[in-house]
Amino acid sequence: MNRKLWLYTISLLTIFVLAACGSSEEASTWDKVKDGEEELVVGTSGTLVAVSYKDEDSDELTGYDVEVMRAIAEEAGIEVRFEQMGFDGMTAAINSGRIDVAINDIEITEERKENFAFSDPYKYSYTTLVVREDGLSGIETLQDLEGKVNGGAATTVFADIAEHYGATTKTYGNATNDQYLRDVDNGRTDVIINDYYASKLGINAFPQFDLVLHPDIKVHPTEQAIIMSKEDKELQENINKAIDKLKEDGTFAEISKEFFLGEDASTPPEGEIKEIEGIDY
């Protein structure tokens, strides 16, 4: 082979190698975690009573969402690692790649579905109000929220409900439940608009505060799910397979009853729950 032909052959081989490298796709999240070689990084707050919190005796993360995620991981044959963070930063953390998924009582909404993928629901609930026992914080109907102060995170459906009815939301970052409840009790805020189960457990956990669930307001039926990047379709499919199995065999119901005072949050609640008109969820 003469020198010119040899150099031409080498150049072609180099082009083919570079083209092959450029066309190779980065492994998907599911490919990275399916054999347990890498962990699925899961964002959660660690500050929601019964949902995602630290056990006082062991300082280990636990709660319905945490144990549901662990059960899903075991069923799917993957390993998980939890990353604690504030709710408001979870979607940004998915976008940046800091975490792969988030589980933190996150409601499925049309707005969120525009930018992210959701698993099938693992929890069903509705929205209620935590108010002072004496006078129900002056709130008889949702219209009475006008001018009131709601305690919560800024980017939640609950904050949207507060704003829709003329209330403002005082935000706390990644605060613990007792801070939210204490402020309603002492009058710094008037109400906590939140999930029924989280609200009930919060009141039960801190009986020193004179707070109740509003007896007449049950609105906005909700479905909670695991949120992830839209690109992670294979991960979504395998998580959904695990969810279907764990619902069917009663695993989720058993976990729920442990954390929600004997109630099963893995099935839709009974009774009339009113929809709220005029809010684009």
Q: What is the pLDDT of residues 124-183, one digit of tens each?
A: 999 999 999 999 999 999 999 999 999 988 878 899 999 999 999 999 876 777 899 999
Long-range contacts of 30-36 (CB under 8 A, 24+ apart): 30/232, 30/234, 30/235, 30/238, 31/234, 33/78, 33/79, 33/100, 33/235, 34/76, 34/77, 34/78, 34/238, 35/77, 36/77, 36/78, 36/79
Cα-Cα end-to-end distance for the chain = 70
Same domain for 51 and 171, yes or no, is no
- Specify the number of domains making up the chain: 2
d(CA 248, CA 39): 26
What would the two tokens of residue 167 be?
């209330």
Per residue in 224-257, pLDDT (tens digit) is: 999 999 999 999 999 999 999 999 999 999 999 9
In a domain, 278, yes or no: no
Query: Do 55 and 184 sit in the same domain of this protein?
Result: no
239 with 105, same domain? yes
Query: Within a domain: residue 231?
Result: yes
Dump pLDDT digits (tens) for 59-94.
999 999 999 999 999 999 999 999 999 988 999 999
Question: Could you give the C-alpha distances from 58 to 21, 51, 55, 180, 231, in angstroms and in order?
Answer: 47, 17, 6, 24, 36
In a domain, 17, yes or no: no
Q: Residue 148 is part of which domain span?
A: 125-221
β-strand partners of 127: 195, 219
Q: What is the pLDDT of residues 167-195, one digit of tens each?
A: 999 998 767 778 999 999 999 999 999 98
Same domain assignment for residues 159 and 41: no
Same-domain pairing of 243 and 184 = no
pLDDT at site 270: 85
Q: Let me know if residue 181 belongs to a domain.
A: yes
Q: Is residue 11 included in any domain, yes or no?
A: no
Q: Which residue's structure tokens are 């906005």?
A: 220
Length of the chain equals 281
Q: Give the C-alpha distances (Å, rounded to integers) separating 191 from 55, 129, 182, 263.
A: 27, 6, 11, 24
Q: Is residue 273 part of a domain?
A: no
The encoded tokens of residue 230 equal: 């839209």
Residue 148 placed within a domain: yes
29: how many CB neighbours lie within 10 A of its CB? 22
Provide the 8-state DSSP code for 274.
Answer: B
Looking at the structure, do residues 202 and 231 belong to the same domain, yes or no? no
In this structure, are 62 and 134 located in the same domain?
A: no
How far is 79 from 65, CA to CA, in rounded Å?
16
157 and 203 in one domain?
yes
Q: Are residues 170 and 147 in the same domain?
A: yes
